[in-house]
Amino acid sequence: MFIRVWNMVWKEVLQFWRYKLLLLFILAFPVLNMLGAAEAVSAQILDIPTAVCDQDQSPTSRRLVEMLRGSRLFAPDTYVGSQAELEALLEHGTVKIGLVIPPDFGADLAGGRRAAVQVLQDGSETTTALLAGAYLEGASCVYGQRLLGVEVGSLASVDPRSRIWFNEEMRKETFQLPAEMAAAVAMLAMLLPAVAIVRERERGTLEQLFVTPMRSIELLSGKGIVAAVIAFIGFLESLALITLYLGVPFRGSLALLMALTIFYIFVEMGWGLFVSAVVRTQGQALLAAFFWLMLESVLSGQILPVENMPAIVRMVAQLAPNTHFAVIVRHIMLRGSGLADLWPQVAALVGLGCILYALAAVRLRKRLD
């Protein structure tokens, strides 16, 4: 058995070695993916184009505009004489935020009366609108208290003191990049074995392999070992990049993370082998794999927390190995968790792995014509 598996492994190594450019791209993919994700995640929304309709023209209104400029979130460089002009700029997309300061703004604040400022926002860019609205709501309160000479926070009866754990600087990269690393490993672990099996079927050599003494499990093992090694190398590249260069902390056990990653790779490969047992061409394998990987990315909580998904979607998410491994990676790297804290996720991966490999082996044998 071991000799037959080793011969299959050596055959796969020779095939990869013949396509050096493809092998180079596969090995470079995790690094490029991490760098692209880091750049996308770290991008900040700054200098939002803002138009101001200052109907008050008082030192108080000018100080309000300068405070917004000093935040670097807004760029109030456009001044208009009427609200109609401001609305026209919003309709044409020239500005994203419109600020209308009423005529009695300064006088109302000086007299201790409530002063209103109208903010018009371009809701077609939801992220920008939500961020700007949250900042303006807080800034208006701070500005009013400073103008009245009241110490900020002294009007509150409760003085909250918060302390952030595990991600003290609240960096988005610290939260997002471990999950991106898991997704990159999943792509390699799923695509490589899926394409490898289908390639044998397209060339007509899969049937020849099955008339040999080689069993299904030996064929799957031989195909999978090379793919697992490449995926694990991609994981090591990604881990080194995000910890040593991109500054993501690592507080847990490296040995535990590496051991669970190897196990996760073999589980994710189960989906690839199952896909290869269902489709007939490499094109179909790529489409099916990419569809599942995109779905898995959504289900794993990268876009929306799993806890906030509908009940039926949460049940489907449990079929995605990345859902469980993303939790494992974050908890080991950021919290320093041990195996005792991660046993529910590990148990889920064990169950998925057993089911996927059993289905792949049975289905692959049945698909032979």
pLDDT of amino acid 329:
94
Residue 189 to residue 17: CA distance in whole angstroms: 18
Residues ≥6 apart with Cβ < 8 Å to 281: 198, 202
Helical segments of 71-170, H only: 83-91, 105-110, 126-147
How many angstroms from the chain centroid is the CA of residue 136?
28
Do 32 and 120 reside in the same domain of the chain? no
Q: Any bridge partners for residue 120, and if so which?
A: 98
Is residue 350 one of the residues assigned to a domain? yes
Do 229 and 281 reside in the same domain of the chain? yes
Q: Averaged over 257-263, what is the pLDDT? A: 95
pLDDT of amino acid 142:
64
Is residue 101 one of the residues assigned to a domain? yes
Helix (H, G, I), strand (E, B) or coil at 79: strand
Residue range of the domain that includes 82: 48-147
Residues ≥6 apart with Cβ < 8 Å to 178: 242, 248, 326, 329, 330, 333, 334
Do 54 and 20 reside in the same domain of the chain? no
Is residue 290 one of the residues assigned to a domain? yes
Q: Averaged over 71-87, what is the pLDDT? A: 87
Is residue 345 one of the residues assigned to a domain? yes
pLDDT for 368 beyond 60: no
pLDDT of amino acid 244:
92
pLDDT for 67 beyond 80: yes
- Quick count: other Cβ atoms within 10 Å of Cβ 309? 16
Is residue 160 one of the residues assigned to a domain? no
Do 119 and 31 reside in the same domain of the chain? no
Do 273 and 131 reside in the same domain of the chain? no
Tell me how far apart the terminal alpha carbons of the chain are, to the nearest angstrom: 25
User: Domain count of the chain?
Assistant: 2
More confident: 56 or 209: 56
Residue 339 to residue 314: CA distance in whole angstroms: 24
Residue 264: closest CA among 194, 323, 223: 323
pLDDT of amino acid 152:
42
Residue 147 to residue 276: CA distance in whole angstroms: 68
pLDDT of amino acid 8:
72
pTM of the predicted structure, to 2 decimals: 0.75
pLDDT of amino acid 286:
85
Of the pLDDT bands very low, low, confident and very high (cuts 50, 70, 90), residue 130 is confident
Residue 89 to residue 96: CA distance in whole angstroms: 9
Q: HSE on the CB side for 41, CA within 13 Å?
A: 22
- 107: domain CATH number is 3.40.1710.10
pLDDT of amino acid 351:
93
Of the pLDDT bands very low, low, confident and very high (cuts 50, 70, 90), residue 259 is very high
pLDDT for 179 beyond 60: yes
Do 131 and 196 reside in the same domain of the chain? no
pLDDT of amino acid 236:
94
Residue 20 to residue 128: CA distance in whole angstroms: 44
Residue 272 to residue 187: CA distance in whole angstroms: 9
Domain end position, chosen among 82, 114, 147: 147
Q: Averaged over 84-110, what is the pLDDT? A: 86
Domain end position, chosen among 96, 112, 147: 147
Determine contact, residues 336/250, Cβ cutoff 8 Å.
no
Task: Encode 215-244: b = buried (16+ Cβ within 10 Å), e = exposed.
Answer: ebebbbbbbbbbbbbbbbebbebbbebbbe
Is residue 59 one of the residues assigned to a domain? yes
Distance (Å) of CA 46 to CA 66, 86, 208, 212, 253: 15, 21, 61, 64, 38
Do 217 and 335 reside in the same domain of the chain? yes
**Mean pLDDT, the chain, whole residue set:** 81
pLDDT for 60 beyond 80: yes
pLDDT for 280 beyond 90: no
Q: Averaged over 278-284, what is the pLDDT? A: 82
Do 142 and 235 reside in the same domain of the chain? no
Determine contact, residues 368/206, Cβ cutoff 8 Å.
yes
Q: Averaged over 245-252, what is the pLDDT? A: 90
Which residue type occupies 241? L
pLDDT of amino acid 369:
43
Structure confidence by residue, pLDDT tens digits, 300-356: 877 777 887 888 888 888 888 999 999 999 999 999 999 999 999 999 999 998 888
- Quick count: other Cβ atoms within 10 Å of Cβ 185? 24
Q: Averaged over 130-148, what is the pLDDT? A: 69
With 0-12 / 13-18 / 19 or more C-beta atoms within 10 angstroms meaning exposed / middle / buried, residue 134 is: exposed
Residue 184 to residue 34: CA distance in whole angstroms: 8
Residue that the structure tokens 């509908």 belong to: 310
Residue 366 to residue 86: CA distance in whole angstroms: 68
pLDDT of amino acid 258:
95
Do 183 and 56 reside in the same domain of the chain? no
Is residue 161 one of the residues assigned to a domain? no
Q: Averaged over 133-140, what is the pLDDT? A: 73
pLDDT for 157 beyond 70: no
Domain end position, chosen among 147, 179, 208: 147
Q: Averaged over 278-290, what is the pLDDT? A: 84
Q: Any bridge partners for residue 121, and if so which?
A: 97
Do 201 and 327 reside in the same domain of the chain? yes
Residue 326 to residue 300: CA distance in whole angstroms: 7
Residue that the structure tokens 């996760």 belong to: 264
More confident: 89 or 115: 89
Is residue 157 one of the residues assigned to a domain? no
pLDDT of amino acid 192:
85
More confident: 175 or 216: 175
Helical segments of 204-253, H only: 205-210, 216-240
Q: Averaged over 245-272, what is the pLDDT? A: 92
For every residue of 135-152, DSSP letters joined together read HHHHHHHHHHHHHTTPPT
Do 200 and 286 reside in the same domain of the chain? yes
Structure confidence by residue, pLDDT tens digits, 112-125: 777 778 888 888 77
pLDDT for 165 beyond 80: no
Weakest-pLDDT range from 28-37, 92-101, 139-148: 139-148
How many percent of the chain have pLDDT more than 70? 86
pLDDT of amino acid 140:
67
Do 36 and 176 reside in the same domain of the chain? yes
